[in-house]
Amino acid sequence: MLVLRCSWRRTQVKHLLDCHSTWASSCAGVKQRMSSSHPVAAVCQVTATPDKEANFAACKRLVQAAKESGASMVFLPEGFDYIGSSREETLDLSEDLTGQTISRYAQLAKKLGVWLSLGGFHERGHDWVMDRRIYNSHIIINEKGDIVTVYRKSHLFDVELPARGVSLKESGFTIPGPSLIPPVHTPIGKVGLGICYDLRFPELSLALVRQGAEILTYPSAFTVATGAAHWEVLLRARAIETQCFVLAAAQVGSHHEKRSSYGHALAVDPWGVVMGDCGGENPSMSLVEVDMEKLRDTRRNMPVQQHRRDTSFYYSLGGKD
Ligand SMILES: O=C(O)CNC(=O)[C@H](CS)NC(=O)CCC(=O)C(=O)O
């Protein structure tokens, strides 16, 4: 069962649907939305498992439902392809960008005429045969089915929180990405790319906004413990300080016996207001209007970007390069 939220309505409406085809007719907000002049983004949350076939089927359903509801860009979370139950399984299931998974998504994007943000794809590294290591890659596909850009996660989640039951060492199987990627033009605005744990590094979001980002994306698979404590506050802080929309697709629920995710896929506006929250339980999506007038107003009224000092000013105290 799919849970969809029409988050452009003042009071959020929750629809329980057995089949996406009933979605357009059962959500009164859709018609209202379709006549809107603003582009619509769909921010999704799913519960990926090690079963790639099932994960693709679930994501495809969400993408189709999003398109039927008027979305021009759909955001899927980190690990949309799968969440492995061991290091070996995670590595075995990985693919190249030319493999079946990305080819299928490219076909889907083309067939539906929709842009996709595919966060956290397990991409085989350039020396895969030698070292069996992968990148954690965020891929943007346009409505023609072309890969527009690939960003490889810069900050790896090597974290031990014994008191909170969190122990993950992403660098054990992942290569850190070599560089940031300039924001990309999409039908909903200029999208800057991050992934999950990158959210904790405001330097990255500031670099992206300096390059013209209007929307920041953080497809994620946050742990339950860190999500409950930090997820919303970090996303809203990134939105407020950069005066960008922040769209964060998320994994939710139990992936296998050893791992669960926090959920709450979130859409935040440039003033820091939460426009959509998918909750902490089920696969679902939030459809949000991306109204650039909101961004321009916020930036005009409080021009923090103009007030910001040169980077050298902040580093004049010294410290780590
Ligand atoms: O492992 C995979 O297959 C996909 N990758 C992930 O789930 C990554 C690395 S383990 N998870 C995070 O970065 C969680 C961050 C987080 O929870 C926080 O910053 O608090």
Atom of ligand 1 nearest to the CA of 199: 19
Strands 40-46 and 284-289 turn out to be antiparallel
Domains: count for the chain: 1
Under-50 pLDDT residues of the chain = 1, 6-34
Identify which of 121, 131, 127 has the alpha carbon closest to the alpha carbon of residue 99: 121
pLDDT of residue 168: 87
The residue to which tokens 């961004």 are assigned: 295
Amino acid letter for position 87: R
Q: Residues enclosing ligand 1, CB less than 6 A?
A: 78-79, 83-84, 90, 120, 136, 157, 168, 170, 196-197, 200, 221-223, 226
Burial class (CB in 10 A: 0-12, 13-18, 19+), 165: exposed
d(CA 7, CA 27): 11
Q: Is 321 part of any domain? A: no
Q: Is 304 part of any domain? A: no
pLDDT of residue 18: 30
Beta carbons within 10 angstroms of residue 19's beta carbon: 10
pLDDT of residue 4: 58
Atom of ligand 1 nearest to the CA of 197: 19
* Phi, then psi, of 5 in degrees rounded to 5: -120, 130
pLDDT of residue 72: 98
Take atom 19 of ligand 1 and give the residue whose Cα is closest: 197
pLDDT of residue 165: 86
Residue range 270-318, pLDDT digits in tens? 999 999 999 999 999 999 999 999 999 999 999 999 999 998 998 898 8
Strands 245-248 and 266-268 turn out to be antiparallel
Q: Is 306 part of any domain? A: no
Q: Is 97 part of any domain? A: yes
Alpha-carbon torsion angle 287, 184, 216, 187, nearest 10: -20
Active site residues: 78, 153, 196
Amino acid letter for position 260: S
Burial class (CB in 10 A: 0-12, 13-18, 19+), 233: exposed
DSSP string covering 39-56, please?
A: -EEEEEEE---S-HHHHH
Residue 57 structure tokens: 């089927």
Q: Is 59 part of any domain? A: yes
Beta carbons within 10 angstroms of residue 171's beta carbon: 12
Q: What residues have CB less than 8 Å from 312, skipping those under 6 apart?
A: none
Take atom 10 of ligand 1 and give the residue whose Cα is closest: 170
Q: Is 307 part of any domain? A: no
- Separation of CA 41 and ligand 1 centre (Å): 23
Q: Is 66 part of any domain? A: yes
CATH number at residue 117: 3.60.110.10
The range of the structural domain enclosing residue 42 comes to 2-21+38-298
Q: Is 313 part of any domain? A: no
